[in-house]
């Protein structure tokens, strides 16, 4: 039996845990012992509580007082790292050592990372590493610097400065370090699981994109009567405007708002909408909807494009903005962002439903995805992990 440390450091939602859990189950079926270290112990608890895998708290960055409340606009993924301690050796070193302590305690023969740059640094050049993720969380590792994804914003810090911090941390630890900042994501195995059309690095990436982590559902014909499904989060900065806009839609709707309080759900129900108390099965909800309103999370997006539904997008951060941009370029969605009004949500939904071009393009793209055939990335990743474990054991024998 081999111990496998599975780490999740950045990002929100359950997509990271769902990916890692599927791989963990595959490895456990071969007799290995996955050990989870996760950013958030509470939110993924319903998915992990009945699993036989030890669950640990991952090192988590605590924002400095000068970071709290200030607007943040990332130009590249490196800007996110700069806000997580990568701007100072004295801040980054304790975070790296926190991961190192977990590695020392668990003594894994393989580490699997999902959006965990500090874990990647702790293990760099010493521990066998497999990195899984979607397009945004897995930038190309073979470029001299991270691409600028939003040119209208300035970088928080020059990437050369962040690389100097990484180099100094590894010098203090007497460990090797990458020659470039993207080199931090080099690994024995890399699995970029997303649709090529949604990959924000599609113009720069040289490695193969494997398609969604799980197969997209088959296309489904639109319902006979127009309606919508909305899936948003209650901690969205513009939740009041978004909820008011959704409430004002005169079409029948199904709604799930993550961690919504009773008064908000009650107000939406009074307007005649069906509000779910627990997450609705996405495929079933979308079969009965003409369009979806959501933030642009990659998992929700992949299901919706597979079924063939147009989108109204309310992005919360850079990754979702990039997904929204890609959907607009495909002609299957409308992004509502900035200082929007509730009425703009209503107008965007009516446009994607009433303008036949959106539905036609969404249906055509869904057929394109179906024609590509199914993929089984879970099995591919598990087999790759098993090969790396086998190679490591062979080297130990030699």
Summarised one tens digit per residue, pLDDT across range 338-365 is 889 999 999 999 999 999 999 999 999 9
| Spatial contact of 184 and 349, defined as CB atoms under 8 Å apart | no
Query: Are residues 159 and 207 both part of a single domain?
Result: yes
CA atoms within 13 A on the CB side of 277: 3
Query: Are residues 337 and 203 both part of a single domain?
Result: no
Query: Are residues 243 and 144 both part of a single domain?
Result: no
Query: Are residues 33 and 50 both part of a single domain?
Result: yes
Query: Are residues 389 and 357 both part of a single domain?
Result: no
| Spatial contact of 241 and 342, defined as CB atoms under 8 Å apart | yes
| pLDDT for 394 | 72
pLDDT digits (tens, 9 = 90+) for 87-104: 999 999 999 999 999 999
Place of tokens 């958030």: 40
Query: Are residues 185 and 252 both part of a single domain?
Result: no
Round to whole Å and give the CA distance between 276 and 258.
10
Lowest mean pLDDT among 35-39, 106-110, 124-128, 281-285: 281-285
How far from each other are the two terminal CA atoms of the chain, in whole angstroms?
Answer: 19
Residue 68: pLDDT above 70? no
Residue 220 placed within a domain: no
| Helix H or strand E segment including 270 | helix 262-270
Residue 206 placed within a domain: yes
Q: Is 268 exposed, middle or buried (0-12, 13-18, 19+ CB in 10 A)?
A: buried
What is the chain's mean pLDDT, rounded?
A: 94
DSSP string, 318-369: HHHHHHHHHHHHHTSEEE--SS--HHHHHHHHHHHHHSHHHHHHHHHHHHHH
Total tally of structural domains belonging to the chain = 2
Q: List Cβ neighbours of 15 (8 Å cut-off, separation of 6 or more).
A: 134, 297, 298, 299
Query: Are residues 35 and 178 both part of a single domain?
Result: yes
Query: Are residues 116 and 234 both part of a single domain?
Result: no
Residue 223 placed within a domain: no
pLDDT digits (tens, 9 = 90+) for 166-185: 999 999 999 999 999 999 99
Looking at the DSSP bridge assignments, the partners of residue 292 are 229, 311
Query: Are residues 274 and 146 both part of a single domain?
Result: no
Query: Are residues 265 and 178 both part of a single domain?
Result: no
Residue 260 placed within a domain: yes
**What is this structure's pTM?**
0.92
Query: Are residues 27 and 171 both part of a single domain?
Result: yes
Look up residue 27 and give its two tokens. 């490895």
Round to whole Å and give the CA distance between 61 and 39.
10
Query: Are residues 72 and 94 both part of a single domain?
Result: yes
| pLDDT for 397 | 65
| pLDDT for 239 | 94
- 300: domain CATH number is 3.40.50.2000
Residue 222 placed within a domain: no
Round to whole Å and give the CA distance between 44 and 229.
24
* Percentage of residues of the chain with pLDDT beyond 70: 98
Residue 219 placed within a domain: no
Residue 390 placed within a domain: yes
Name the residue range of residue 302's domain.
Answer: 228-372
| pLDDT for 323 | 97
pLDDT digits (tens, 9 = 90+) for 10-33: 998 788 999 999 999 999 999 999
Residue 209 placed within a domain: yes
Residue 77: pLDDT above 80? yes
């Amino acid at each position: 039996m081999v111990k496998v440390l599975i780490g999740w450091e950045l990002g929100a939602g359950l997509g990271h845990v769902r990916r890692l859990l599927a791989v963990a189950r595959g490895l456990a079926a071969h007799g290995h012992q996955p050990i989870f270290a996760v950013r958030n112990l509470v939110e993924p608890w319903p998915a992990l509580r009945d699993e036989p895998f030890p669950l640990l708290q991952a090192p988590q960055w605590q924002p400095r007082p000068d970071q709290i409340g200030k607007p943040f606009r990332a130009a590249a993924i490196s800007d996110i790292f700069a806000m997580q301690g990568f701007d100072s050796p004295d801040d980054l070193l304790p975070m790296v050592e926190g991961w190192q302590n977990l590695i020392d305690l668990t003594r894994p023969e393989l580490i699997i990372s999902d959006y965990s740059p500090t874990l990647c640094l702790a293990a760099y050049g010493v521990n066998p590493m497999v990195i899984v993720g979607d397009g945004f969380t897995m930038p190309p590792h073979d470029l001299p610097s991270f691409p600028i994804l939003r040119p209208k914003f300035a970088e928080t810090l020059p990437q050369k400065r962040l690389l100097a911090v990484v180099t100094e941390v590894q010098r203090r630890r007497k460990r090797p370090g990458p020659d470039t900042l993207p080199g931090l994501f080099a690994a024995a195995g890399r699995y970029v699981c997303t649709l090529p059309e949604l990959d924000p690095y599609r113009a720069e990436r040289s490695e193969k994109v494997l398609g969604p982590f799980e197969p997209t559902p088959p296309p489904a014909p639109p319902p006979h009567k127009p309606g919508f499904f909305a899936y948003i989060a209650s901690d969205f900065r513009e939740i009041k405007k978004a909820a008011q806009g959704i409430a004002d839609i005169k079409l029948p709707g199904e709604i799930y708002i993550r961690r919504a309080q009773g008064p908000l759900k009650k107000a939406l129900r009074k307007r005649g909408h069906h509000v779910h108390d627990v997450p609705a099965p996405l495929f079933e909800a979308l079969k009965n909807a003409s369009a979806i309103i959501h933030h642009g999370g990659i998992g929700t997006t992949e299901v919706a494009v597979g079924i063939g539904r147009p989108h109204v997008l309310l992005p919360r951060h850079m990754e979702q903005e990039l997904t929204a941009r890609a959907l607009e370029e495909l002609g299957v969605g409308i992004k509502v962002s900035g200082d929007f009004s509730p009425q703009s949500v209503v107008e965007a939904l009516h446009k994607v439903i009433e303008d036949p071009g959106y539905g036609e393009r969404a249906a055509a793209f869904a057929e394109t995805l179906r024609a590509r055939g199914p993929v089984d990335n879970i099995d591919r990743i598990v087999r790759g992990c098993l090969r790396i474990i086998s190679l490591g054991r062979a080297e130990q024998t030699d």
